[in-house]
Structure 1
Amino acid sequence: MQQPFILALSLLPWIPAFLCRVTTEGELTVMEGQSLIVPCHYDPQYAGYVKYWCRGNTREFCTSLARTDSAKPAAGKVSIFDDPVQQVFTLTMSDLKEGDSGWYMCGVEIGGVWTRDVVASTYIKVIHGMSVVNSRLSGEEGSSITVECRYSERYRDSQKKWCRSGDWSSCLLTGSEGSYEDTSVAISDDRTRAFTVTLKKLQMSDSGWYWCSAGQQQKLVHVLVTPTPTTTAVTATSPPAPSQSAAYLPPPEPITKESWNSYSHILETLLVCAFIMFIVGLAIWVRKLWRRHRQDPVLRQVNMIKARHNGYSGDVGDPQSATVIFMNKDSQEGY
């Protein structure tokens, strides 16, 4: 009796982890030098509890970085904000370095002797390299488009390039001031982990694949130039009136979620009606079988007598013949 009681006590600290929970992303990747926001969702009963953010994979060895009950704002590059209405608290980490990669934990502090904190772990991976905000851009002929290329901190002082894919001779490089400009292309590097490329006065021949580069890192970008819409000249003569015999047919209405729901309700009603009719028909058929089974005992006795008298040639189903045979049999028994 004592052992089950001890086992139950040992499991008490783990009960909140099974019944209630905190969730977050399992793994997050961010480029070196950029910021990262981590959302941690919790169950409604934890709205008034203290939330925290720490570095580590176990609660016992997790270094605290930010808490919602701290009188001072989180030191350094970490901040925490709790939104009880949305039941989520968010962590913001800025200016991340490769050394910041590792396991982190967001948790709700339960407190007490027999309860454990409710936590969720995530792995943050800080990488170096390049990225583009939009890898596919399009613009009308004669207009301009801008590509934003981002790079990690280590490439801040590297030379930036804009090249047409497959043609190394087309590469345009930034100068010592981090800029380049001509009649068709302008490159501007703000030296804060991003540079922009503006393609001016687009032509149809500008469509194709390009790549922006910082150091040895490259990212592809596809540019699509569409022709300028043409407008027809308006003449002074009024257009001919449409024929009254031509009927206007409106375009078919698209099937939306609401229309599909109405169709599904009609289908369900038809199926229910068909099922009810099937049940009623089945009941009538069973009733007929039952009445046939409970037919007049006189007819069943006649059938038995007929089976004994093989020489009788009358119709088994003829009730008149069956009655005559039955009365003859009674007459014989009376003598």
Structure 2
Amino acid sequence: MTGLKKSDVGWYWCSVVDVQVTDALTVTTVVTMTADNEKTSIKETNPHTTPVSSSENSMDKRITVIWSLMGVGLLLLTVLVFCICMSVRKFNSENMRTLKHIAVKSGDSVTIPCFYDESYKSNKKFWCHGYYWSSCTIVAYGNTHGSTSVIDHPTHNMFTVELNRLNTDHSGWYWCAAEIGDKYNPDDKDYLYLTVSAAPAVSVLGSRVSGEEGSSVSVQCLYSAAYQNKQKQWCRSTDWSCYTVGRTHTSQNSTVWIREGIRSFKVEMSGLKKSDAGWYWCSVGDVQVPVHLTVTDALTVTTTVTMTPESK
């Protein structure tokens, strides 16, 4: 600062990123008399001002770099903690799959399918309740019966969870899981949300249907007015594919018809094959209701003709 004035007196600070160092500026008057006392020069100086060496400048730069690196490190640590928390909350594997949001009417029962990889055939299965996987409560293990029944079907690589006499208190987060029992490989699982209410957003007329091979079956899927403009689908677990309104030929040569009505849509499957048997679900928006299809052998009619000798 050159040409100092009395008005320059006050506080100033050096600032590097978010670090400041304050200093006061004092202006004094220095009077210099010549030998003959005829000429006077006046110089305003700041006694607190000292030259800054190059080593001090270098130190300031190093401090700035350290602060910057600490800031970046803190940001990366925050992102890492966030990712870990998210993985603990909602980790799911392709080796364990189920539906994502199931709606049920109060007082009713529901059977939920949980599909697992073939390598889990001999592993213990269980049903867990809780928002966080790390702290969820095991409700029932495989092949147990009661208000919650868990039945393993290793030949189909799946297990079912049957929930009976449901009420609104049963709404919440649940987990289909297989016990791995290895400290290097955590238990495998997938989550879903169950909504139990007096008037569910989506429902079906009959959650279990059966038909003979070559015949047809139909399922009526109902939904509330709030879901009128949501996407309607009929999905199957065989390949996790879904069909929308219209006519579709499946890979098994059977035909799926979906006709939309007033707050409902009807699914008709014709030309049934044994390979069509399995789990399906009505899907409206983000809500699903599971449906099981059984395909039985076609009825064979045998006609017996009895011949009698003619009288002569």
With the shorter chain as reference, the TM-score category is 0.3 to 0.5
Q: Which has the larger radius of gyration?
A: 1
How does the TM-score come out when normalised to structure 1? 0.33
More strand, by proportion? 2
More helix, by proportion? 1
How does the TM-score come out when normalised to structure 2? 0.35
